[in-house]
Amino acid sequence: MAFGLLHPKLREVLDELGYREPTAIQSAAIPAVLSGDHVLIVAPTGSGKTETAILPLFSRMLDERIKQCTQLLYITPLRALNRDLLRRISAIAERIGLSVGVRHSDTTEAARKQLYKSPPHVLITTPESLQILLLNRSLRSSLRCIRAVVVDEVHELVENKRGVQLALGLERLVELAGEFQRIGLSATVGNPELVASFLGGSNRRVRVINATSFKAYEIDVVAPSPSEDDYADADKYDVTPETLARIRYIADVIKRTKGSVLIFTNTRDGAEFLAAKLRALIGDTVEVHHSSLSRDHRLSVEERLKSGALRAVIATSSLELGIDIGHIDLVIQYNSPRQVIRIVQRVGRSGHKLGAVSRGLIVASDLEDLLESEVIAERATKGELERDLEYHRAALDVLLHQIVGMALEAKLDGRSLALEDVMRIIKRAHPYSDVTPEDLGLVLNFAARHKLLDGLRPRRGALKYYFDNVSTIPDEKSYKAVDQTTGKIVGELDREFVYTTEPGTKIILSGRAWIISKVEGGSVLLYPVSDSSGALPGWLGEEIPVPREVADEVCRRRAEALRAALRGEYSGEFVDTEGLSESNIPGPGTIRVHLFGRYAVVHACIGTKGNEALGMYLSRHLSAYLGPIGYRSDAYRVLLIHREPIQQKYIAEAFTKDQAYIYKTLINAVKASRMFRYRFLQVSQRVGLLSRDAEEVPSKLVDVYSEDLPGVEALNEIFTEKLDVKSLLELIEGIRSGKYRLEMERLPGPTSLDKPLLEEALRVDFTYKGLSQEAVKDIVRRRILSRETTLLCLNCGWIFRGRASLLPERPTCAKCGMPTLAVIKGNLERALEVWKKFKARRRLSKDEAKLMDELRQSASIVIEHGRLGILVQLAHGVGPKTAIRVLNKVLAGDDIWGAIIEAERQYAATRAFWD
């Protein structure tokens, strides 16, 4: 038995704490860890991975006698995990004479000083804090004792730059402590070989011990149909009957389940929406947990869920990791999880006991969502996980930071650092195994020009740059979305969406259409519109991409279902065959292009990132012939949008091009996108070119550094995270070689398969009730009438302050009786100062004369139109000149509130406006 291999003293403690029998993964992996091998332990949540690594390492420390220094480093990606780990590890460690310490960003200054004064035997830390520890003079001598490093939740690190930074940080630790044993703890992954290589580095063999086969999953997929009650009550709950059917189904499942239910959604706003509707049905025993909520709220939810005080918690990826939340009876996924690995990790939170079955339920919406969910559920139960990972190779921004760290370490130790040393260290890290001298030269040249390094010696700004950029995590700032007509918060938009969307853009948020007017501090100001055509879906957080292999299988099943429906052999609730025939249904082996009106839909089942690459490529290629071409894409199709019909020959030509042309076209397309500017901003912040609180990046800076480190790495990031270029190239090569048939047809209108993206582009949104034009008019009327108004009499200087609703039809000055009242929307003191100067016949500056002219124009409007003239001028962005145009429309018979809305809409579409 595995426990029998451990030190006798440790066995006594385990018996005392109730560890009777090892789990399957402990039996398999403890002997391997005891042998001193590098080991990757892959097992589902709840299988005892932490103890699998810790127990044999503690045993070896006892065998070799405990030393007064840090011998074991435990690295975990989340601070939330540290609290749970500390309880479990300390309970064992203290009984065998080992001390345990924690160092992360929330550690108090007093605790840090104690840590440096008396280093613990076991140190729990994060990847970022490791970067700080490596340059701490007090701890460096203690870190030389490190004999083992455990990397927890390593699967969370391998796909991002935190992991890249950690890989280099561990190689720097090798330079300090010598070679040490590496233990990785991972949830179920599809490519354990790559994760093992990442953990071990370029030239170390890592044993993979995979216990995921011991975990049983039961995952059902349902697509509830609306009942008569759902149709009757849809308006009451402000949803469609179909949505209400799904929510009521979930509510019934929660009621029937004896224990706690964990519900996952793919977005934070989706979680908030679902929670609000479920509370309306089953009360306040439902809570929300996601990363935008405060730490205290999340902790409270975790504890209440663990204690059984909550029946259900709705979460995003925030509860996918191994945070201890107690026993979960059932996991519900609302809509397709989009990836096999997602549903495995999420459903794995249920049956959190040895040998227990993890039970999951996916509640799907439409045909593609249903088929996608079924494919993913089947693959999950068979253990067929995605193998492709977003692996950042030779990330240049991280490399710059780490080389500066090496230079600072060398200075701290009083030694020199040679170029050969740098190359040797970085090539040991697996993400940099293929790094070239040219890559290194680009980084060192940038460091020299920006006064970070002199050769390989740190310059004055190096230390500040290093500590300012310890974190590679992008700023996840979110913005409050504020309705300017009411001042109410209507949702949140994340930084990436805000940054990559122009003011004047129409979006959908909380089921309604809005125009973005401007960003002001931490808020995005929105103006409601009734016309939702062309609106972008407002989103918060990254959309989970559907991989190509899932999309391909869904495509095959969808074709079978539609053909069966056309033959009258299938009558499923969600099957819509409008505009389809046996001959025009796309499948895995056929790429169909449907053209209608000014739109073209390319049906290609190459997944979310593959079709994003296809859409970007086609848009750029066609724009060279036809002028600007817009596009939208999803996992199954690409929509092309032009001002007039697109000719088939240009689309056909795009599928004949070679790889060199495709790459060049994609690069040019990416560099022309706002996404490139956003990624450029992030990379520039990491390399110290821009401050961490910078909100914008000057265009000139992008031009200057487009071919330099920031531009090159921004391009690398997008190609790694956003685009599946491999699938795009295989698709086009498949068409060229005859593996795929390319069929093109001009149709009188869209088919049911064309509509999903077309409806998104036109935003025919059926999920929530829209906002009527009359409702918008009413909101604007109430907003303007309730607005605090300031008037200045240009005859005597009298000032009026009060609500617009209090004004008479023909306002006059209460002091002199004249109607010469100017509307003041800006600085009253400034206006009064200029007016006094004008009355005293003193010379006005150019700006003062302009302001005085505006005041006189405003007053003349009030003289002619009275209260109506004031109300129009109180509208957003409506100055005296625009007010005259609006009033002319009103005199010609237009409704005043409709005319004001149109003026505000035009202003919002051309520039930011303010109160």
Domain spanning 2-214 has what CATH number?
Answer: 3.40.50.300
Rounded distance, CA 224 to CA 370, Å?
11
**pLDDT at position 532 over 70:** no
Per-residue pLDDT of 52-74, as tens digits, reads: 999 999 999 998 888 888 999 99
CA of 648: how far to CAs of 212, 320, 337, 629, 909, in Å? 50, 46, 36, 14, 33
Q: Which class is domain 217-382?
A: alpha beta
Q: Band of the pLDDT at 769, cuts 50, 70, 90?
A: very low
Neighbours of 846 (CB within 10 A): 7
Convert the pLDDT of each residue in 790-846 to its tens digit.
899 999 999 998 878 889 999 999 999 999 999 998 778 889 999 999 999 999 988
Between CA 478 and CA 523 the distance in angstroms is: 9
- Please state the rounded mean pLDDT for residues 417-445: 95
Q: What percent of the chain has pLDDT over 90?
A: 48
User: For 468-499, how does the pLDDT look when each residue is reduced to its tens digit (9 = 90+)?
Assistant: 999 887 666 667 778 877 777 766 776 667 76
What pLDDT is recorded for position 732? 96
Helix (H) or strand (E) holding 296: helix 295-307
Interatomic CA distance for residues 23 and 50, integer angstroms? 12
Is the confidence at residue 355, as pLDDT, over 70? no
| pLDDT at residue 765 is higher than 60 | no
Q: With 60 as the cut, is the pLDDT of residue 649 above it?
A: yes
Question: What is the tens place of the pLDDT at every residue in 603-645?
Answer: 999 999 999 999 999 999 999 888 888 889 999 999 998 888 8
- Average pLDDT for the chain: 85
- Is a pLDDT exceeding 90 seen at residue 430? yes
Highest mean pLDDT among 151-155, 709-713, 905-909 belongs to 709-713
In angstroms, how far is CA 286 from the centroid of its own chain?
24
CA–CA gap between residue 404 and residue 457 (Å, rounded): 8
Burial of 316 (0-12, 13-18, 19+ CB in 10 A): buried
Q: β-pairing, 122-125 with 100-103? A: parallel
What is the structure's pLDDT at 914?
31
Helix (H) or strand (E) holding 124: strand 122-125
* CB contact at 8 A, 250 and 334: yes
Per-residue CA distances from 865 to 281, 653, 802, 890 (Å): 52, 61, 19, 11
Q: Which residues pair with 63 in a beta bridge?
A: none
Q: Is 882 exposed, middle or buried (CB count within 10 Å of its CB: 0-12, 13-18, 19+)?
A: middle
Would strands 330-334 and 261-264 be described as parallel, antiparallel, or unpaired? parallel
Residue type, 335: N
**Percent of the chain beyond pLDDT 70?**
88
CA distance 230 to 140: 65
The pLDDT assigned to 766 comes to: 26
CA–CA dist 675, 679 (Å, integer): 6
Contacts of 328 (CB under 8 A, 6+ apart): 259, 260, 261, 262, 349, 350, 351, 352
Locate tokens 């001002």: which residue?
A: 643
- Asked whether 522 and 479 are in contact (CB, 8 A), the reply is yes
Q: Which amino acid is at 376?
A: I
More confident residue, 326 or 855: 855
Amino acid 774: pLDDT: 65
Give the torsion through C-alpha atoms of 543, 549, 553, 554, to 10 deg.
Answer: 10
Q: What share of the chain is helix, strand, coil (3-state, %, to 5)?
A: 50, 15, 35
Cβ atoms of residues 625 and 619 within 8 Å: no
Q: Phi and psi at residue 94, in whole multiples of 5°?
A: -60, -35
| DSSP state for residue 96 in the 8-state scheme | G
Distance in angstroms (rounded) separating the CA atoms of residues 311 and 260: 5
b/e burial code for range 540-566 (CB count within 10 A of at least 16 → b): bbeebbbbbbbbbbbbbbbbebbbebe
Q: What is the pLDDT of residue 382?
A: 87
Name the band, by pLDDT with cuts 50, 70 and 90, for residue 111: confident
- What pLDDT shows up at residue 243? 87
- Distance from C-alpha of 672 to C-alpha of 676, rounded to nearest angstrom: 7
Cα separation, 554 vs 590, whole angstroms: 14
pLDDT band at 539 (very low <50, low <70, confident <90, very high): very low
149 touches 127 (CB < 8 A): no
Please tell me the distance from the alpha carbon of residue 222 to that of residue 749, in angstroms, as a whole number.
Answer: 32
For range 783-789, the mean pLDDT: 78
Number of other residues whose CB lies within 10 A of the CB of residue 342: 21
